[in-house]
């Protein structure tokens, strides 16, 4: 299987996701809609491609578990790949990540999000359905710290999606399954590794949630994602994940350490011909903390309606801001091509931002110095066994 040709096809159509299934045409998600194109893909091609892509040891684990997660840079585009066994055979679900370094400006997010990471400790939740850009938003917040503050950052991801080049911050990135056996073990390790900031790729189970809350409560700034449609649902999901007898205690702990919750979804703008993130932002005030502690989540929405001065954004208020916004970042096609070349060589360049409306009075933000242009670095993917051999 020539995975590069499928990725090239997805990039040509501007797809965010690529799905390969034996006996079916290639399926592309373009602007949120899945479309089939081309001839059916033979099962034998996908089987051989999966084994080649995974390698022998991961392939043995895949045969036992029926799925595998990994990330690769293909044709200059960072791809998050899930290999899965289905009723038809072996399939692929591939997410094409942004070809530029994610920042708040380049993701077209509200600049108020930058204020969240100035806090020295606490929990920031980013929620939303699958495919809404949660990982990109987390990467943008981490990059904001990286460019502004000398902090020690540890990320725990499955798999690693965006690579960071340390600027002012000192960054360590760990991948579950390769560098650590689980999110739980990585969190236990992190508390002994002198971090200032922890980034948790996904809170999947109660134990990960408990350790994340503990880390936020013990003086660390913690950023994490959870699958929920709204901020209130994100808080409810965390508390309800625990047994009933301890939910009151976990709600009190969540109220004490929560800094903010950001719910996100993607909205297609026909005038821009692209999807842009639409957000709901909850910041913690005394009433919000009281409602969380008492598990009166239904009362939080009314607080958000009147909480604009405290930095809260409802969907409607955020949509009004988007309608007034005149300057949007749009990835330039030629810049993306240059990124592809640099990524193959080991680094990716940042494409310039350009406004959609030429009549705007706003000026684009100044570009960083030339030596800070290249942010993403593709590290050498070396196994632990090979590393030990080099040390002998």
| CATH code, domain with 90 | 3.30.450.90
pLDDT in tens, 1-29: 688 999 999 999 989 899 999 999 999 99
Q: Are residues 123 and 188 in the same domain?
A: yes
Rounded distance, CA 118 to CA 137, Å? 16
What percent of the chain stands above pLDDT 90? 66
Q: Are residues 182 and 313 in the same domain?
A: yes
State the total domains in the chain: 2
pLDDT in tens, 33-81: 899 998 999 999 999 999 999 988 889 999 999 999 988 888 888 899 9
Rounded distance, CA 212 to CA 207, Å? 8
Q: What is the CA radius of gyration of the chain?
A: 21
pLDDT in tens, 77-110: 889 999 999 999 999 999 998 767 889 999 999 9
User: 362 lies in a domain?
Assistant: no
Per-residue confidence at 332, pLDDT binned at 50, 70, 90?
low
Q: Are residues 13 and 149 in the same domain?
A: no
Q: Are residues 174 and 277 in the same domain?
A: yes
- For residues 14-47, one letter each, b for 16 or more C-beta atoms within 10 angstroms of the residue's C-beta and e for the rest, the string is ebbbbbbbbeeebbbbeeeeeeeeeeebeeeebe
Rounded distance, CA 329 to CA 111, Å? 13
The domain that holds 181 is classified in CATH as: 3.40.50.300
Task: Tell me how many degrees the CA angle 246-250-251 measures, rounded to the nearest 5.
Answer: 115
Cis amide bond preceding 159, omega within 30: yes
Asked if residue 18 lies in contact with residue 12, where contact means CB atoms within 8 angstroms, the answer is: no
Neighbours of 295 (CB within 10 A): 18
Q: Are residues 271 and 143 in the same domain?
A: yes
User: What are the φ/ψ torsions at residue 275 (nearest 5 degrees)?
Assistant: -95, 140
Contacts 24+ apart (CB under 8 A), 286-290: 288/255, 289/255, 289/256, 289/258, 290/255
The alpha helices in 149-220, defined as continuous H runs, are 183-190, 206-217
What is the phi-psi region of residue 114: left when phi exceeds 0, alpha when psi lies from -120 to 50, beta otherwise? Answer: alpha
User: 388 lies in a domain?
Assistant: no
Q: How confident is the prediction for the chain on average, in pLDDT?
A: 84
- Output the pLDDT for position 365: 44
Asked if residue 149 lies in contact with residue 169, where contact means CB atoms within 8 angstroms, the answer is: yes
Q: Are residues 151 and 26 in the same domain?
A: no
Across the range 214-227, mean pLDDT stands at 94
Q: Which residue has the higher pLDDT, 252 or 330?
A: 252
Contacts 24+ apart (CB under 8 A), 334-341: 335/100, 336/76, 336/99, 336/100, 337/76, 339/76, 339/99, 339/100, 340/75, 340/76, 340/77, 340/99, 341/76
Q: Which two tokens stand for residue 11?
A: 């990039």
pLDDT in tens, 230-279: 999 999 999 999 999 999 999 999 999 999 999 999 988 888 888 899 99
Per-residue confidence at 131, pLDDT binned at 50, 70, 90?
confident
What is the value of pTM for the model shown?
Answer: 0.77
Of the candidate ranges 152-156, 236-240, 366-370, the one whose mean pLDDT is the lowest = 366-370
Rounded distance, CA 215 to CA 219, Å? 7
Instruction: Quote the domain boundaries for residue 305.
Output: 113-324
User: 373 lies in a domain?
Assistant: no
Neighbours of 124 (CB within 10 A): 23
Asked if residue 143 lies in contact with residue 165, where contact means CB atoms within 8 angstroms, the answer is: no
Q: Are residues 169 and 31 in the same domain?
A: no
């Amino acid at each position: 299987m020539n995975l590069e040709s499928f990725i090239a096809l997805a990039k040509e159509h501007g797809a965010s996701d690529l799905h390969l299934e034996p006996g079916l045409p290639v399926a592309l998600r373009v602007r949120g809609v899945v479309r089939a194109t081309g001839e059916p893909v033979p099962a034998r091609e996908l089987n051989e491609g999966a084994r080649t892509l995974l390698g022998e040891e991961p392939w043995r684990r895949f045969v036992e578990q029926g799925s595998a997660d990994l990330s690769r840079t293909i044709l200059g585009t960072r791809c998050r790949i899930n290999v899965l066994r289905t009723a038809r055979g072996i399939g692929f679900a591939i997410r094409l990540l942004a070809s530029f370094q994610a920042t708040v400006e380049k993701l077209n997010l509200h600049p108020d999000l930058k204020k969240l990471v100035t806090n020295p400790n606490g929990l920031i939740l980013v929620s939303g359905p699958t495919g809404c850009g949660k990982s990109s938003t987390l990467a943008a917040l981490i990059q904001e710290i990286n460019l502004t503050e000398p902090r020690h950052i540890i990320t725990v991801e499955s798999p690693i999606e965006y690579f960071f080049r340390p600027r002012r911050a000192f960054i360590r990135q760990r991948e579950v399954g390769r560098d650590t056996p689980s999110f739980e073990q990585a969190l236990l390790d992190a508390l002994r590794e002198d971090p200032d900031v922890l980034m948790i790729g996904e809170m999947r189970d109660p134990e990960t949630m408990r350790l994340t809350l503990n880390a936020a409560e013990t003086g660390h700034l913690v950023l994490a994602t959870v699958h929920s449609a709204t901020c209130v649902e994100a808080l409810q999901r965390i508390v309800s994940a625990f047994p009933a007898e301890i939910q009151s205690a976990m709600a009190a702990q969540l109220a004490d350490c929560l800094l903010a919750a950001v719910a996100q979804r993607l909205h297609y703008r026909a005038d821009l011909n692209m999807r842009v993130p639409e957000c709901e932002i909850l910041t913690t005030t005394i009433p919000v903390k009281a409602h969380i502690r008492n598990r009166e989540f239904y009362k939080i929405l009314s607080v958000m309606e009147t909480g604009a001065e405290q930095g809260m954004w409802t969907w409607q208020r955020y949509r009004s801001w988007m309608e007034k916004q005149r300057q949007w970042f749009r990835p330039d096609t030629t810049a993306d091509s240059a990124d592809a070349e640099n990524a193959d060589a080991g680094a990716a360049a940042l494409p310039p931002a350009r406004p959609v409306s030429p009549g705007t009075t706003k000026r684009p933000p100044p570009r960083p110095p030339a030596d800070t242009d290249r942010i993403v670095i593709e590290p050498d993917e070396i196994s632990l066994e090979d590393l030990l051999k080099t040390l002998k």
